[in-house]
Structure 1
């Protein structure tokens, strides 16, 4: 009887203990949707959200996170769930995923100021550059650089247009991994012509877009070789990888290595003037241009378009998917852009994206760094406050003029009497005409590597 009683007591105590434990685990735990409803009532605000944003999300000790100030409360409530809100008007908010790559303007400026406090002249700045640069290579798993494949580039037939030619290429940059693009050259090719690498951003159509083709054609008509190439897992790279692979960390590595290999090939085998090697890209292509210029001294001129900002690190893994911004104990894109000094650099910004405040703080910082070399005139900013995030004519025009000034391009024959550039002589080809591997990918080499998991194996010991 006593034994049975003890068993019952033990079971009862165990059940009670479990109930108490369960209650203590859950009494301060609430569904996020319920918390948002409470916030709206308590502070008299409206928070817009999609049902899938809050489904199955819970918050521990929610009530303890409330503060007198609504904005501070929202930050305390949402940060543990990697969420944030954007303010859309008086007492109106919209729920968003936390964007690690986007800071408040003042935070970006303060961080840049803190970085700048560690150098004050050319000597201390050069020491800072020497600290950052090797760490960029290590962060990208490119230290040391992998051996270059011995294969020759695949070059398509040449197409002739008004004042320029186009031929497509595929270059093996790792065993079985190819970068594809097109070479735009002057029809009457000069010896030792300038070179302009032309990466692009995430706009639909990428390098096949009308404005991308026009920009490269115009540079060729003015006497430069322009090279347009695919992002990783975009364009013809999709013959080897899936679209979602672009949103994975090695995308930034492959794109950087692709540009390095293109430079290796062109400088060794094309009639290019090594003293006049530029890079010009928009949006994500601008981030790529900044990174390449910081890493590769062979680039002698840089033009990041609608991309550069101290409070925006790039919203895609191809810009910030590996810890390049941890280099040197921490850096940002404006400090990386400063590593171009004293090489000529044109920063183009607009009023409707994260470059909207360029003239106020970030550009004066760049001028200061260029001043360390006695070359403040080598850095310029064209700010277009009424423009948005694109690579339209208003952006291309200063690109052309900057390259005329610094690379000695000739533009008289492509300008109208009122000083505007006439782009009407440029032919916009069908996308398939710019393919290196054929419309169906029928010319893809037999050794082509397929799948991100196989790409990872190439870097597994890095």
Structure 2
């Protein structure tokens, strides 16, 4: 994928109030309105990472496969991996080998996105693999232990770990991550322990930027060189720390597959806490990874507290149990502790077992409880992991596989940077350049060009169609009305309106009911019908969308669990139109102005069997795009990933000949004038 031009400048257009088209309650002439509508309940409470996220298992394997395909797409969209960015050549710089008892350690530097580098330690077994064979490999993704790869527990913590039976050896208690890598290498496995962004040698984006956004760092401005992460523009392109870390995992996987001593079909991943998040997410998005053991992370409870574990759209109408289920039918191992995972044996793991049984692999999912220890990846949990890896790779070792002591290697010997391998550019300047170049790749992959071959044009259209389809599918979580006797459910529990009989809409000879939208304060009236609509999400969203309570004002804490305002309203709009239609056989034609075009186009994309087409009576100029003008994640027009899929132009391009634009300063790509 060639790197194209950067994000184009936009001609300012007047600010839209999509709430004018709003998320709606039907009021039907000929029916009556319950008291609940006259005094509606407050807006539905936003979900956050501390909610309850159970999994409902589909009834058949076929239904699960369909759900898994949609969820995998949702995950890739949320992480900025659809389209997958063009990564650098996965050829690493490996140097500085040191030999120890049964293993070696080398320093590793690997470019992921152009100009952005992964830093790591490479552990290898001593000696050659059996003739004609190559070794299995493990990607070790660490969690939020201070300094990551360079971690050293305090003397008091070391004493506590040994006294409680959590660790057997002092060196393992000092750095349990190094202990795991050493033991896996002694088992005959190649291991890469790679740094999370902002940890150890990975300082191109600082710890405070990546993991303490809004607390320990400033909010740097956008410049001509690009925009920082966490801005509305970055989120509009689907650019996040979690996405970058997942890209790093995929690039490490690609590198391992190409090493001459590694069997590319036998590469697994493990890690604890935040490293557990990286483990099951990488396995979800890349089906080539052989197996995953995320420790003390997967549960129906807390979903991941750090900005590096959250991305807009990732957990809308889903959660970590279902995301971990995307590993199926590949082997999946889990550990628990006296933390948010403590209830996993009865809440979450049975559902995972259902999925694996349904797919004919009941023994491929394992749980290793450890409720007597606090949050950890200690010797007891690691011993379970060694046995699991032994079976996964068919190593034939006698179990239990127990660690023995090792020589602790500290920061001064592990760091990858030296005079011959100088540190790359870092800081906010690097961050801006990275996001701008990444966006240029996205634009080149999605925006039409006169030089596109028919095959390339179709591929671009497919990417945009799939992307918008995945975003708009979030609206399903905000539906729940029934024609004739309409009741709110789910997020709108407590708000009730009864409508009987259905709206008396008369279709034309060609089976079309034409609805004209006009603004009227906080309502939208269909000017030529008896339908009017009110906003159940609260009037505050007209100017400033609410966010969840969190000291870090990252969009992912809200929109990782809740659809953006436009998509929430879309769900209620579709309910309203379906309730008004009842069981009659007609389709709607939506006639709208500039204020309503985003939601009307979204509705037509999401419900083609109910909406025949959209007529856009435009006043705005040809480059009009409210999604591109958003400068705050609290803007009601903010749609995460909307810019990735070409904004309004991309949305209406999905409609193709189902949208007619009349008036204004010209047409958008994919529309008729």
Q: Does TM, scored on the shorter chain, surpass 0.5?
A: yes
1:447–1:152 Cα change, 3 Å: farther
2:399 equivalent to 1:397 = no
Query: How far is 1:318 from its partner?
Result: 1.0
Which residue of structure 2 aligns with residue 421 of structure 1? 402
1:291–1:150 Cα change, 3 Å: closer
Say which of 316, 322, 337 aligns to 1:335: 322
In the aligned structure 2, how far is the partner of 1:233 from the partner of 1:340? 28
Kept in 2: contact 1:154–1:170 (CA 8 A): yes
Kept in 1: contact 2:138–2:267 (CA 8 A): yes
Say which of 87, 95, 99 aligns to 1:160: 99
Kept in 2: contact 1:177–1:449 (CA 8 A): no
2:53 equivalent to 1:108 = yes
1:132–1:355 Cα change, 3 Å: same
Instruction: Give the match's secondary structure for 1:318.
Output: helix
Kept in 2: contact 1:177–1:448 (CA 8 A): no
In the aligned structure 2, how far is the partner of 1:373 from the partner of 1:220? 32
Say which of 312, 324, 336 aligns to 1:322: 312
Query: How far is 1:322 from its partner?
Result: 3.0
Instruction: Give the match's secondary structure for 2:309.
Output: helix
Query: How far is 1:423 from its partner?
Result: 2.3
2:70 equivalent to 1:147 = no
Query: How far is 1:284 from its partner?
Result: 0.5
Say which of 150, 158, 170 aligns to 1:208: 150
Query: How far is 1:218 from its partner?
Result: 0.4
Instruction: Give the match's secondary structure for 1:354.
Output: coil
In the aligned structure 2, how far is the partner of 1:405 from the partner of 1:313? 29
Which residue of structure 1 aligns with residue 64 of structure 2? 125
Give unmatched runs, 5+ long, in structure 1.
1-75, 83-98
In the TM superposition, what whole-angstrom CA distance separates every residue of 1:98-130 from its partner, at most 9, and x where no partner exists?
x92111xxx433xx23xx3xx212111001111
In the TM superposition, what whole-angstrom CA distance separates every residue of 1:221-279 from its partner, at most 9, and x where no partner exists?
001111100001222121x2222221355210111001111111221233222232111
How do residues 58-457 of structure 1 correspond to structure 2 at under 5 angstroms? 100-103=48-51, 107-109=52-54, 112-113=55-56, 116=57, 119-150=58-89, 152-190=91-129, 191-209=133-151, 210-238=175-203, 240-247=204-211, 250-326=240-316, 330-350=317-337, 352-409=338-395, 411-412=397-398, 421-424=402-405, 426-438=406-418, 443-445=422-424, 450-457=429-436
Structure-1-length-normalised TM-score: 0.70
Kept in 2: contact 1:349–1:382 (CA 8 A): yes
In the aligned structure 2, how far is the partner of 1:192 from the partner of 1:455? 36
Which residue of structure 1 aligns with residue 608 of structure 2? none
Kept in 1: contact 2:206–2:427 (CA 8 A): no
Q: How many residues align?
A: 347
Kept in 2: contact 1:176–1:449 (CA 8 A): no
Instruction: Give the match's secondary structure for 1:145.
Output: coil
Query: How far is 1:459 from its partner?
Result: 3.4
Structure having the larger proportion of residues in helix: 1
* Relative contact order, higher structure (CA 8 A, sep 6+): 2
In the aligned structure 1, how far is the partner of 2:91 from the partner of 2:330? 32
Structure-2-length-normalised TM-score: 0.49
Give unmatched runs, 5+ long, in structure 2.
1-41, 152-174, 214-229, 231-239, 444-643, 645-673
Kept in 1: contact 2:197–2:206 (CA 8 A): no
Which residue of structure 2 aligns with residue 91 of structure 1? none
In the aligned structure 1, how far is the partner of 2:300 from the partner of 2:257? 33
